[in-house]
Structure 1
Amino acid sequence: MHKSKKKILVVDDSAVIRRYLITLLAKNSYEVDFARNGQEALEKLQKEHFSLVTLDIEMPVLNGIETLREIMKLKPTRVLMISSYVHDNSDVTLEALDLGAIDYIPKPKSSVDIAKISDEILRKVQAALQVLPQFLKKTELHVESSILKVNADVDMGFVLIGASTGGPRLIEQICKALPASYPHAVCVVQHMPTEFTANFAKRLNSVSEITVAEAQEGMELEKGKVIIAKGGKHLHFRKKLKKYSVTLAENIRERFFVPSVDEMFLSAAVVMPAGKIFAVELTGIGDDGADGMVELRRLGAYTIAESEKTAVVYGMPKEAAERGGASKVLDFEDIVKEILKYGQ
């Protein structure tokens, strides 16, 4: 379907933000309608079909989180959160992602801000429109208990996971599936802004048996620990004697995403023995991680890309597979099983 057929509902109590979003989207050939609060939005969604909803969090009558819950219950629709909470309270935005929102955009605070984030909004709208409706509902993983038995005596290896749009829910499912005795170190790059990653790690740690922490300079890679890359820094590695640790690197190559999956993969390729690396490329727009995965596979690492069947956005894993970086292409549930089997 041509993008001019896509209809978007802008939900915001600020007339200034509504006008800005409507103008920006209409100028880019989208059909646009608006609602001033959540209640009005739900009424419009009952009457007509919208391809996408942009949803503010703080609104009168019915706030964004309550509205999102109702949307997912009554008529699952693609939702992008647009809110100042991105900076002020990332917990609320993480809750929105957990409820089924596809992504989030920081609410512009001034006209200068608006000019700066127009490209980001359009890029995220395009990515969100690629998401198939069946991915909006949260599904629970089913992993046989026999796979959960791990061998704590296995030599420590390195499980490296990269994800972008649609990734937070998957990372949560992986962390929940891993037992506290998992014998490998796990490192995750999830594209997220600086304000998010500490709360994301804290949230994952609270729902998992395994330990989850945000990356800090000099943090040691250990068995049974998941390290989440810190927003605004690249996750690199160093080896001293027989210990491996994290180093937080600046964006000297001017990568679009910081942290970048490629930066993690390419650093691992230099520092770690390839035979002990298991690299995974999950859902996301673009190609971050594809080049790094090609290099890891060339060196002899075990590499898996998520399948088109389960990837919320089939961009990053598709590029990794098409460039020859994936030893295997698997559905998400099978990737989790493979990560568990790697511990046996």
Structure 2
Amino acid sequence: MIRLLIVDDSPLMRRLLGRVFAAEGDFEVGYARNGVEALEQLALFEPDVITLDIHMPEMDGLACLDRIMLERPCPVVMVSSLTEAGASVTLEAFQLGAVDFITKPERAVSLEIDTLAPRLVEKVRAASQARLPGSLRLAERVRLRSGLSGAAPAVARRRAPAPAPPPRRRVKAAPAQGLLLIGTSTGGPPALDALLSRLPADFPWPVVVAQHMPGSFTGPLSRRLDRLCALTVTEVTHPMPLSPGNVYIGKGDADVIIGIRPDGPVVMAAPSLPEHRWHPSVDRMVDTAMQHVAPERLIGVLMTGMGSDGAEAMTRLRDRGGRTIAESEESAVVWGMPGELVRRGGAQVVAPLEQIADRILDMVGHS
């Protein structure tokens, strides 16, 4: 049985979510009305996974998440609104240790819960198996358990200035020699932080990213990454020429594809296709890239995420002479997508997250 703790101040939301998971037959469900009650349930209920609303009285979701990760780390799925403000707070939650999020329906929840139920169950079930890094906020946890005062409250940490990104150097607008394609899903935003922040400003290839997210989330994600990275990070909302020194984040709820114009390859947003379940689709991104860029000038990187999106296309990429990297099980929050690439024999390199940037730099010949 999977022990699920539902934390939400809305009695209706607790009841509807509880009904969805109870119907699965392998969930034991507990409830909390706010962050204070959730912390009490950590020891009493000992959940395997938690769904955590962001806006609650007494203790909000971010403050509660902060305490969970310090006192008893557990996979947490945030319950977020689809607004940009909700997206920004959700990205903060990822930095505190959340592994995924579910979005509240835009209409009355009681009208949409049955449609959303399969996706909710899939996300929470995957999160229950998520691997939380043993190093996650380890120093703070040790200080807390030792009775020291070094663990700063979440609000204080969120107000601290972000570290300055590496200096940016102007890259000549020369034709790109190749293209780096990155696909990720569950656990992806922190993984993208870790990978992209290690690529230098003079990285010689454009980078295109397909991160499974709603459309209101990818703009805030791209702006956050732009602050952290030496490369310029932009959300793809219209056709854009592919230029070195740039990272292009596919817009959520659409697909990110590679096309061709008289002056060279471009990246653009395209309406999602029903044959692809997750969007932006990694498979579609890689397949369209192979139509316009020689496979030997492509590198595909598949990182943490549930499901198998990207594994089929990146296996084809390797078969045609391209190079591929799969994040290893030891570092992936969910080893679904990269694990499937490995099982299909499509991964040329399997490496933990902290080594992937160095592997990419070796492949492009950057010294």
Taking structure 1 as the reference length, the TM-score comes to 0.90
**Residue 11 of structure 1: which of 4, 7, 30 is its match?**
7
Task: Tell me the amino acid that sits aligned with residue 73 of structure 1.
Answer: L
Tell me, yes or no, if the aligned pair for 2:80 and 2:102 is still in contact at 8 Å.
yes
What's the offset of the Cα at 1:48? Answer: 4.0
SS in 1 for 2:183: strand
1:202 aligns with 223
SS in 1 for 2:4: strand
Task: Note closer, same or farther for the CA distance 1:248–1:25 as it changes in structure 2 (3 Å cut).
Answer: same
Task: Tell me the amino acid that sits aligned with residue 19 of structure 2.
Answer: T
- CA distances 1:135-156 after superposition (whole Å, capped 9, x unpaired): 68269xxxxx9xxxx9x99963
What's the offset of the Cα at 1:254? Answer: 3.1
Query: In 2, Cα distance between the equivalents of 1:136 and 1:80?
Result: 20
Task: Tell me the amino acid that sits aligned with residue 105 of structure 1.
Answer: I
2:123 aligns with 124
What's the offset of the Cα at 1:228? Answer: 0.5
Query: In 1, Cα distance between the equivalents of 2:289 and 2:82?
Result: 34
- CA distances 1:186-230 after superposition (whole Å, capped 9, x unpaired): 111010011110110011101112100001322111111100011
SS in 1 for 2:77: strand
**Residue 177 of structure 2: which of 145, 156, 165 is its match?**
156
2:162 aligns with none
1:269 aligns with 290
Number of aligned residue pairs:
331
Task: Tell me the amino acid that sits aligned with residue 6 of structure 1.
Answer: I
Tell me, yes or no, if the aligned pair for 1:305 and 1:326 is still in contact at 8 Å.
yes
2:325 aligns with 304
Tell me, yes or no, if the aligned pair for 2:13 and 2:109 is still in contact at 8 Å.
no
Tell me, yes or no, if the aligned pair for 2:131 and 2:332 is still in contact at 8 Å.
no
Alignment of 1:36 with 2:59, yes or no, is no
SS in 1 for 2:43: helix
Tell me, yes or no, if the aligned pair for 2:133 and 2:331 is still in contact at 8 Å.
no
What's the offset of the Cα at 1:168? Answer: 0.9
What's the offset of the Cα at 1:265? Answer: 0.5
What are the residue-to-residue correspondences of 1:228-247 with 2, within 5 Å?
228-247=249-268
Task: Tell me the amino acid that sits aligned with residue 16 of structure 2.
Answer: Y
- CA distances 1:80-131 after superposition (whole Å, capped 9, x unpaired): 1113356653101111122111111112433221111111110001110111
Task: Note closer, same or farther for the CA distance 1:153–1:330 as it changes in structure 2 (3 Å cut).
Answer: farther
**Residue 62 of structure 1: which of 56, 59, 62 is its match?**
59
Alignment of 1:172 with 2:168, yes or no, is no
1:142 aligns with none
Query: In 2, Cα distance between the equivalents of 1:292 and 1:117?
Result: 28
2:280 aligns with 259
What's the offset of the Cα at 1:240? Answer: 2.7
Task: Tell me the amino acid that sits aligned with residue 343 of structure 1.
Answer: H
Tell me, yes or no, if the aligned pair for 1:154 and 1:343 is still in contact at 8 Å.
no
Task: Tell me the amino acid that sits aligned with residue 14 of structure 2.
Answer: R
**Percent identity between the two aligned chains:** 40
Tell me, yes or no, if the aligned pair for 1:85 and 1:93 is still in contact at 8 Å.
no
Query: In 2, Cα distance between the equivalents of 1:191 and 1:116?
Result: 19
Taking structure 2 as the reference length, the TM-score comes to 0.85
What's the offset of the Cα at 1:162? Answer: 0.4
Tell me, yes or no, if the aligned pair for 2:179 and 2:205 is still in contact at 8 Å.
yes
Tell me, yes or no, if the aligned pair for 1:100 and 1:136 is still in contact at 8 Å.
no
Task: Note closer, same or farther for the CA distance 1:322–1:161 as it changes in structure 2 (3 Å cut).
Answer: same
Query: In 1, Cα distance between the equivalents of 2:352 and 2:49?
Result: 26
Task: Tell me the amino acid that sits aligned with residue 131 of structure 2.
Answer: L
Alignment of 1:25 with 2:48, yes or no, is no
Task: Note closer, same or farther for the CA distance 1:189–1:155 as it changes in structure 2 (3 Å cut).
Answer: closer
What's the offset of the Cα at 1:57? Answer: 0.6
What's the offset of the Cα at 1:327? Answer: 1.4
Q: Which runs of 5+ in 1 are unaligned?
A: 140-144
Query: In 1, Cα distance between the equivalents of 2:32 and 2:283?
Result: 40
Task: Tell me the amino acid that sits aligned with residue 176 of structure 1.
Answer: S
Query: In 1, Cα distance between the equivalents of 2:94 and 2:83?
Result: 12
Tell me, yes or no, if the aligned pair for 1:160 and 1:280 is still in contact at 8 Å.
yes
Alignment of 1:294 with 2:294, yes or no, is no
SS in 1 for 2:266: strand
Query: In 1, Cα distance between the equivalents of 2:16 and 2:273?
Result: 34
